[in-house]
Structure 1
Amino acid sequence: MSPKQQRGEATAAQVLDCALELYAARGEAGLTLNAITSASGVSAGSIYHHFGSLQGVVLALAQSWLGRLLGEVVGALHQVTDARGGVRALTETYLRFIQEHPDAARLMHSVTADREAITNARQLRGAQEARIAPLADWLHAHRESGELAALPLPVLESLILGPVTGIARRWLAVGDIDIEEAIRTVPDHIWRSVSP
């Protein structure tokens, strides 16, 4: 990597770090281009060069953290051999991740991030394909072995991730869910919905 590319990556990382700090301190309303330029020392022109827009910054930040989450989930799936253990590992890993990184998790699960993800769904799915592929492969292998219900892969993915994402969102927004209890009990309920 050339020195120019290294500087570009360092600048982009600096912007993303500042954007998360601003989001954590001030919420979505405080995440403005002016606030990012002031906090990061990076010019608006440079931010537009790297991200295209303020929405591009939000999307890049959410996707960066989503990539980290997916990496941890896939790592957890590789530690178990059976489908039921995989459902438990996925649930625990996901919920512990949001506990450890609540600010990033709030951004990943925000209306703004959702809107940008829906608007750019095909592009994002392609960009995340390398990170999503191991999860899809895991689902496919366990469905083919008969350990998971013979449902389309997107349905299995939704039945497993949907409840976990819903719990994460509720915990982040309202805080009335006991994560430890959810980790103990939810995998068995998910398992009943996807077992053959």
Structure 2
Amino acid sequence: MGAGMSVAGGEPERRRAILDAALACFTVKGFSATTVDDIRIRSGASVGSIYHHFGGKERIAAALYIAGIRDYQEGILAVLREHRDARAGITALVGHHLRWIAEHPDLARFLLRRRETEVALASDGELREMNRALFEAIADWLRPHVAAGRVRSLPTDLYSALLIGPSQEFARHWLEGRTKSTIEQAERSLAEAAWAAVSVEGA
């Protein structure tokens, strides 16, 4: 399977094979043009196995979306656990965001193109709970840095926009081949910009 095509680990082997096949089909043909039979042929799974694990194509797409978001978010949580220093942690968050996209370009394109509302409808609240837990973890990590006067006190959604928003915009253009800078070249500047956006002057 080509670089960037495989869904992150943690899924049972057959289920993961179906998700990998779905991602490959969505990448080549697009979501609308892909059929369950395309996924069956590419994965080697039976139709019965596909419907046993997922149901229809919308459920497969929702499971793929959630698997990708879970892997991405687990990396964010690992960064928070590993860094107590505010500046180092925020720099690492930006780095994780960009490197994850560089390592999973096809999955990143799929995540960016699918509407989260569509996935939420097919995921029975799982995506909403994952996002809630992530924002709570970020808020908990930021709280002592805000109290110590190193980070500005802001609503949680603004932290996300300021820390990840510029990197997300760069990544969109990078995935479409519209940037001159590489991910590695962009990482340092975007990390410095993220820190400048949320830090207290002189911290």
TM-score (norm 2): 0.78
CA drift at 1:171: 0.9
Q: In the alignment, which of 169, 174, 195 is matched to residue 171 of structure 1?
A: 174
Alignment partner, residue 190 of structure 2: 186
**Contact 1:20 1:61 survives alignment (8 Å):** yes
1:25: how far off? Answer: 3.6
Give the CA deviation at 1:121: 9.1
Match of 2:156 in 1: 153
Q: Note closer, same or farther for the CA distance 1:86–1:116 as it changes in structure 2 (3 Å cut).
A: same
CA distance in 2, matches of 1:177, 1:146: 37
State the alpha-carbon separation in 2 of the partners of residues 71 and 19 from structure 1.
Answer: 22
Aligned residues: 188
The DSSP-based 3-state class of the residue aligned with 1:81 is coil
Report if aligned partners of 2:58, 2:122 keep a CA contact under 8 Å in 1: no
AA of the residue aligned to 2:199: S
Structure 2 counterpart of 1:3: none
Q: 1:171 to 1:149 in 2, by over 3 A?
A: same
Q: Residues of 1 paired with 2:51 and 2:185: CA distance?
A: 44
More helix by share: 1
More divergent stretch after superposition (68-77 vs 136-145)? 136-145
Matching residue within 55, 63, 68 for 1:60: 63
SS at match of 1:78: helix
Could you list the runs of 5+ residues in structure 2 that have no partner in the other structure? 1-10
Output aligned runs, 1:123-134, within 5 Å. 123=125, 124-134=127-137
Identical-pair percentage: 33
